[in-house]
Structures are given as C-alpha cells and as structure tokens.
Amino acid sequence: MSALSQAVEAALSGGPPVIPPEWTPTGHLPPDVALAVASSGSTGHPKLVLLSAAAVTASAQASAKRLGGAGQWLLALPTSHIAGLNVVVRAVLAGAAPTALTGPFTAQAFTQAARAMPPGPRFVSLVPTQLERLLTDPVAVAELGGFAAILLGGAPVPSNLQNQAQRLELPVVQTYGMAETCGGCVYDGVPLDGVQLRLGAGSVGRIEVAGSTLALGYLDPVATGAAFVNQAGQRWYLSSDKGHLDSAGQLTVLGRLDHIILTGGHKVAPEVVEQWLVAHPGVAQVVVTGLPDTQWGQVVTALVVGPNPPTLDQLRTWLEGKVGATKERLPRALGIVNQLPYLAPGKVDRVAAAALAKGLDRSGQIDRLR
C-alpha cells in the first residue's frame, strides 16, 4: 500500500489528518478533520476544504452502493484535488490501494495500468479531456469496455463526447460535485443516498446541497459562513452553479452563476455556447468568455484550440439556425490559441482565459466584429 493510502487509512481511523503540504500545519485544524483538500479555485482563490471521516466514508459508501458494490480502482487523476483523492479513499475502504497510472496521461499508459489491475470489478474516474483522448485509441477503448463504471466529472461533458461514448456502449456515469460535497454527490442527475438537492430562491436556480457528505467548511471561517447555511435544522452548501430539477428530482447542471456574460442587456451562459462550438469539426477545445466593450458591455468571445480552426464568419454561419443559438449568443470575437489554461485536469481556468482574451485583443490577435 502506498504512503498516501496508508495515511488516508490512518486518518479515517482517527489518526493525523491528511493535508496538502503547502497549507497550514495540522495544529490549526479542528479535531474532527480527517482530510483537507484545496478547492478548484474556479473563482480565482482556492480555499482549503475540511472533510470529516464521517462525510468521506458516507460519500464512498453511497458511491459503492450506486455502482453496484466495491471493486478495484485505477488512479488516473492527481490526488491534490478531490476527484483523485476520492479514488484513494474508495480503494482504501474497499480494502486495497488503487492501481496508479504513472507518468503523463496517454492512451498507452492508461491501457498498461488497467491491465495491471487485480481481478474483480474495475472502476476509474476521469475528466472529459482524458476520455476524449482515450477514445482515439482502439486498444484503450477496448480496455475501457472492461470497466464496471467510468466516472466522468470535473467539467461539462460535450454532447459529441457523450454521443461517442454511448455509441461505444461504454459504462460512463456523469458525476456532479465538488470538494465541499466530498466530490461527486450526483450520478447521472440523481443524488446519491443521503444527499439532498434544492434550487435557491429566485430565478437563477442556484444548486444547493445538503446531507451526509457535506464538508465541515473551510480553513477560513469567513468563507465558511458565506458558503454554508443552517436552515430549519438542516445544513446547506450554496454552490456557484445553476441547474434545473425536473418533477422526478433529476438534476441538470446549466453552468456557473459567476461566469455569466452580460451583452447588450442579455445574459449568456458560456457553457451553453461552448457545447455548440465544440461540435464544430475544426474545434478541438474551446472556452467562451466576455470581452469588455463600450457598446455591448461585453461581447461573447471564443478561444479555440483546433488543427483547422474556423474563422469568426465561418463559426457564426455554422451556428446560425441551431436551436437556441440566438444572435446575442453568437460569438462576436474569436481567438485561436495553442492551449487553454487549466486549474486542474478538465477544469478550465476561466479567470486566466478572460485575461488571455484581453491580451489577444490588445495585441490585435482576435478577430472581432465592430
């Protein structure tokens, strides 16, 4: 068993907590903290999230129940974030350390690690960019088909990637969650046992989460008070995501509340535009942000990675006529970049992307309608 697996096992049994080495000493933590993990930093300021052994264990047990039982785990994500650390937790509670993928993530490295796993049901947690890379390799695809479940989270899943996985009949489970909920707490739109969902008051549809998997809070008490509230004897985490709950209680995540682009008096969710753009054959990856504009307030701006990227006119023409692609949602600016900035595997750094777009605009490297 690896040193991290041993440390996690001890922490869940009442031993010293596991914390990132760059954060505060353990002496500053409340006594019931078992694990501490940095948030993704989507707002530009990562926070140290404090997790109890009870919450972490409840999360792992609910996940195993939803997936049909415990099994062997392949670790393909960094343990500095909750998704990777969760793999270690689930494996430890199942009685074995995970099989770790070593070196850079490639289809070949994934296949090699998968084939080295012990017998029994196999599970893996991936982000969309990793799955997209694996689906280009027939050998890796064949190996993926042997897994009992492929948890996919950390970022919105493009519709073309969903469709491809379905055509290949891969056992993909789309997850929603964050460090504050001990990772994925909603599988394929349905909350895990012990998890409750609601939408906050008002028209924005803020996703709020309660239940046995909630974090204790943050190292910073002020941040804790802003994100966690007690109402009628129930403790709720107020996410920065917006969503929709249907009559059966199934959740659809609609994007971030704090990424809304205000253009000409209209509110545009960048994630919606990204879902359309990534389906273009010349677009491999994309992030949509807002550029300041004296006339519009902000203009919808696409930063695109692709081998044969379209021009702005080509992209707008391709989008016209698509359901929901109203004129205010069409990009008015386009920048071609070699790579997108990331906070963590699969999670685009939107703060850095906005700064990148501004720099490209000032240098004249953005094609922009005036």
Q: Is the pLDDT of residue 211 over 60?
A: yes
Q: Mean pLDDT, to the nearest integer, of 66-84?
A: 93
Q: Which CATH architecture has domain 260-368?
A: 2-Layer Sandwich (3.30)
Q: Is the pLDDT of residue 322 over 60?
A: yes
Q: Is the pLDDT of residue 165 over 90?
A: yes
Residue spans per domain, the chain:
3-254, 260-368
pLDDT of residue 268: 86
Tokens of 193: 């046992």
Nearest 5°: phi and psi at 35? -130, 145
Q: Mean pLDDT, to the nearest integer, of 328-342?
A: 93
Q: Is the pLDDT of residue 370 over 70?
A: yes
In the chain the first and final C-alpha atoms are separated, in Å, by 60
pLDDT of residue 123: 98
pLDDT of residue 204: 64
78-89 CB burial, b ≥16 within 10 A, e <16? ebebbbbbbbbb
What single-letter DSSP state applies at residue 180?
A: G
Nearest of 77, 252, 266 to residue 159 by alpha carbon: 252
pLDDT of residue 49: 95
Q: Mean pLDDT, to the nearest integer, of 119-136?
A: 93
Mean pLDDT computed over every residue of the chain: 91
**Alpha carbons 80 and 331: distance in angstroms, whole number:** 35
Q: Using alpha carbons only, give the angle 34, 38, 42 rounded to the nearest 5 degrees.
A: 145
pLDDT of residue 158: 81
pLDDT in tens, 242-277: 899 999 999 999 888 878 888 877 778 898 899 889
pLDDT of residue 50: 96
pLDDT of residue 271: 86
Q: Is the pLDDT of residue 1 over 60?
A: no
Tokens of 357: 């777009």
Give the 3-state secondary structure of residue 212. coil
pLDDT of residue 202: 63
Q: Mean pLDDT, to the nearest integer, of 202-211?
A: 85
Q: Mean pLDDT, to the nearest integer, of 149-160?
A: 88
Nearest 5°: phi and psi at 313? -60, -45
At residue 296 the predicted structure's pLDDT band, cuts being 50, 70 and 90, is confident
Do residues 298 and 262 touch, judged by C-beta distance below 8 A?
A: yes
Q: Is the pLDDT of residue 42 over 60?
A: no
- Its pTM stands at 0.81
The amino acid present at 168, given as its one-letter code, is: L
The amino acid present at 300, given as its one-letter code, is: V
Q: Is the pLDDT of residue 203 over 60?
A: no
Percent of the chain with pLDDT over 70: 96
Q: Out of 2-16, 113-127, 265-279, which region has the weakest mean confidence (pLDDT)?
A: 265-279
At residue 45 the predicted structure's pLDDT band, cuts being 50, 70 and 90, is low
Q: Is the pLDDT of residue 119 over 90?
A: yes
Q: Using alpha carbons only, give the angle 338, 263, 346 rounded to the nearest 5 degrees.
A: 35
pLDDT of residue 43: 55
Identify the CATH class of 3-254: alpha beta
**Alpha carbons 219 and 13: distance in angstroms, whole number:** 22
pLDDT of residue 63: 97
At residue 361 the predicted structure's pLDDT band, cuts being 50, 70 and 90, is very high
Q: Mean pLDDT, to the nearest integer, of 291-315?
A: 91
